[in-house]
A and B are shown apart, each in its own frame.
Chain A
C-alpha cells in the first residue's frame, strides 16, 4: 500500500513538475518583443539601442523568432502603424527609441491595453498614467560629470606644462539643440571639469541637428579657432572627434569610443547602456507583471546603465582614473551631487528655488519645484526620467 501510495505521489510530483516546466516554457516561447528604431545601425544613436536589445535578448535566452526589429521608422503615423503591426505579429512588448515616436506609441498603447509599450527619452508616461505605457532614461548627467573630470584633469595638465595659462582653459561644446537634454548634458560635463580645474569656462555651439557630420565638424573647428583647447559634444556623428584629431585638440565624445578614429586626441566617452532597462521590461512582461514597470525609469551607474568607455591612457593626464573612481564611489555613497547649488551660480546668484517644466502641457508651463536639499534634483523619482535642467549657468557661454 505504502509502495503504491509513494508511487502515486512520485508520479503526481513528476506530473506537476513537468506541467510546471511546460507552462513555464510556454510562457517563454509565446513571448515576443518588438523594437522600433528611427534609423538602422548606421546611426550611432540607434546602434547603441540595437546592440543593447540584442544583448538583452541573448542574456534572457530569447530565440530569433521571438524578436522583431523594425528599422528606419519615421516619427509620424508610420510609428503607430509599425507598433500595430508588431502587436498583430504577436508582440507582448513594443519598444521605441526616438523622442518623436512618443505620441504615436501612446496612441497604440491606448488601443492595445494588453501589450506593454516602452519608450526611451519620452516625457509623457507619468502624466498619461496608462498602465501599459512607460518612459525611460538614464542619469547620464553623472556619466558626463565623470567624463568632465577627465577633461578637467587634462586642462590642469596643459596648464602645468605651460601649454596654456589658467585663464585660457576654455572648453568647446558641440550641442545638437538648445534643449534640456543637451543643456543638462553640457552643464554636468562642465561642472565635472570645473570640480578639478576651477578656472575652466565653456563655449557652446549648436548645430540644430541630431546628426550632421559636416555641421558638427565645422562647429568644432569654429570653437577651436575661437580658442577652445578641449572639445566635447552632444550630437551623434564623428564629425567633432575628427576635427579634433586634425587639429590635435583633446576630445571627449558621447555614446561610442572614438579611440580608433582619433587615437591621439580621444580622451574618454560617457554612454548610456540600455541593456539593463531592456532586460527589466522583457523580464517583467514575460512574468505577466508589465504593469509593474515604472512610468519613469532612470538608469544609473549602479546597475551599469551609465558607463564610461575606455580611458585613452595615451592622452589622459596621470591620476585621471583614480579621480574618476573616487567620484564614482562618492556618487554611490550619495555624498556627491552633480547639480549641487553651492557649486554653481545663475546670473551671479545661487539657485534656491527653480520651477522646471516636468509635466508636459501645451503651453510648456514650469510646474515643479526641483531644488531639494541643496541640489537641482535632475531625472528624479516621482518627477520624470528625461532631463529638465534647462538653465545656463555662469561660466558657460551659450544661446538660450
Chain B
C-alpha cells in the first residue's frame, strides 16, 4: 500500500513527453491512423444518434461533394473562397497578430465592389468596372484591418477584441446601405446589374466559378513565395517568434505590424471582390457566412503553409457539404452533419498531438528508465 502510494506520487498513471523529430512516413501513418479512428468514431455516433447505416451516411457525405460535376465545381468554388480567406489571415497570424476580423474585412471589400457596381454599373465598361471594384475592395479591406493594426502598433490595444468588433460594424454598415438602396424596406438588395451583367466576372469555358478558382490559385502561389522567400516574410516570422529578438536585430516592429496587417486586410478585400463580382453579385450582412472564422482554423491547422491550406480547405468544405447532403438526402436534422464535421476536425487536429507527443503508461516505467 505504502509502496503503491509512493509510486503514484513519483510516476502518474499516464504521462506525456515530447517526441523528437519523426520520419515523415511514420508521422503520416500516425495521422492516417488517428483519422481512421475518427471515421470509426463518427460511424459509432451516427448509429447511436440516428440508427442509420453509417456506410449510407458516408456515401451521402461523399455524394454531397462529388455526386455530379456541378457538385465538384461547387466544392472547388467553396474551397477556393475559404482558401483565399485563409491565405489572407495567415500573414497576420504568423506574426501572432490575432486577426479575428477577416469576416468584416472581406465583407467591407465585398461592399466596396457592390457599391461600385451599384453606382457606376451603367457608365463604364464591364472590364473597367471589375478593375475599379478590385482597387476599391483592396482599399476597403486594408483600411478595415489597418485601423486595429495601427492601434495595436501605437497603443498596444487588444487586437482580438478590436478586429472582432469591426466585424459587427461592417455588418451594420452593409445593413445601413441596403436600407438606403432599397427604400421599400424589404432589406434584400437582389442581384446587382442582372440585366447587362456589368461588373460580373465572365464565365471561362462555360464555368462561372473557374475564374474565381484561378485567381485564388495564383494568390496561393504569391502568398507562398511572399512568406517563404521574401525579406518581409522573414520579418513576419521573426516578429511572430519574438518581438524582442526582432527589435534586437534591427527590425522596426511597429512598421512590420502595421504593414502586415494591412496586407492581410488587402487580401481579405480581394476575397470580397471575388465574392461580389465572381460569386454573389449581391450582398447581405451575412454574405461571408462565417468563412472569416473558419479560415483561422484552416490557417492554424495547416501551420501557416499555403500548400497545406489547399488540402485543409477542401477537406473542411467537403465535410460542410457532406453535412448538408446528409440533411437533405437522409432527412436527418442538419445538426447531425455538423456534429460529425466537428468530430472529424477534432480528430484531425489531435492527430498533430500524437505526432508531436508520446503517451506513456505507468507499466512502461521500467523499460523507459532502463533505456
Please classify how large the interface on chain B is, using the bins under 10, 10 to 19, 20 to 34, 35 or more: 20 to 34
Residues of A within 8 A of B327 (CB): 40, 69-72
CB distance from A243 to the nearest CB of B (A): 24
Give the complex CA separation of A208 and B178 in angstroms: 12
Binds A, one of B22-30, B85-93, B179-187: B179-187
| A 373-400 binary contact with B (CB < 8 Å = 1; else 0) | 0000000000000000010000000000
Q: Does A74 contact B (CB under 8 A)?
A: yes
Interface residues of B in 36-61 (CB under 8 A from A): none
Q: Indicate if the CB atoms of B324 and A70 lie closer than 8 Å.
A: yes
Q: Does B142 contact A (CB under 8 A)?
A: no
Give the complex CA separation of A72 and B328 in angstroms: 10
Which of B175, B280, B334 sits near A76, CB closer than 8 Å? B280
Q: Does A107 contact B (CB under 8 A)?
A: yes
B190, B281, B334: which has the most chain A beta carbons within 10 Å?
B190
- A77-B333 CB under 8 A given contacts A178-B185, A179-B184: no
Residues of B within 8 A of A26 (CB): none
Q: Does B313 contact A (CB under 8 A)?
A: no
- A364-B70 CB under 8 A given contacts A40-B327, A69-B331: no
CB distance from B121 to the nearest CB of A (A): 10
Q: Indicate if the CB atoms of A179 and B282 lie closer than 8 Å.
A: no
Q: Indicate if the CB atoms of A75 and B185 lie closer than 8 Å.
A: no
Residues of B within 8 A of A103 (CB): 190-191, 194, 282
Q: Does B267 contact A (CB under 8 A)?
A: no
Give the complex CA separation of A182 and B186 in angstroms: 10
Q: Indicate if the CB atoms of A68 and B188 lie closer than 8 Å.
A: no
Q: Indicate if the CB atoms of B333 and A40 lie closer than 8 Å.
A: yes
| B 313-336 binary contact with A (CB < 8 Å = 1; else 0) | 000000000001001110101100
- A177-B186 CB under 8 A given contacts A76-B279, A85-B70: yes
Q: Does A21 contact B (CB under 8 A)?
A: no
Give the complex CA separation of A317 and B105 in angstroms: 55
A69, A72, A107: which has the most chain B beta carbons within 10 Å?
A72
Question: What is the size, in residues, of chain A's interface with B at 8 Å between Cβ atoms?
Answer: 34
Give the complex CA separation of A372 and B77 in angstroms: 51
Q: Indicate if the CB atoms of A107 and B191 lie closer than 8 Å.
A: yes
Smallest CB gap from B338: residue in A: A72
CB distance from B84 to the nearest CB of A (A): 15
Q: Which 3 A-B pairs have the closest CB atoms?
A: A179-B185, A103-B191, A100-B188
25 CB-based A-B contacts, threshold 8 Å: A40-B334, A68-B329, A69-B327, A72-B324, A72-B327, A74-B287, A76-B280, A77-B279, A77-B280, A77-B281, A81-B70, A85-B70, A88-B70, A100-B188, A100-B284, A104-B191, A177-B187, A179-B184, A179-B186, A180-B184, A180-B185, A181-B186, A357-B184, A364-B183, A364-B184
Residues on A close to B: CB < 8 A? 40-41, 64, 68-72, 74-77, 81, 84-85, 88-89, 99-100, 102-104, 106-107, 177-182, 208, 357, 364, 390
Residues on B close to A: CB < 8 A? 68, 70-71, 74, 175, 182-188, 190-191, 194, 279-282, 284, 286-287, 289, 324, 327-329, 331, 333-334
Given A100-B284, A364-B183, list of 16 further CB < 8 A pairs? A69-B327, A71-B324, A72-B327, A77-B280, A81-B70, A81-B74, A84-B70, A85-B70, A99-B186, A102-B190, A103-B191, A103-B194, A178-B185, A208-B175, A357-B184, A364-B182
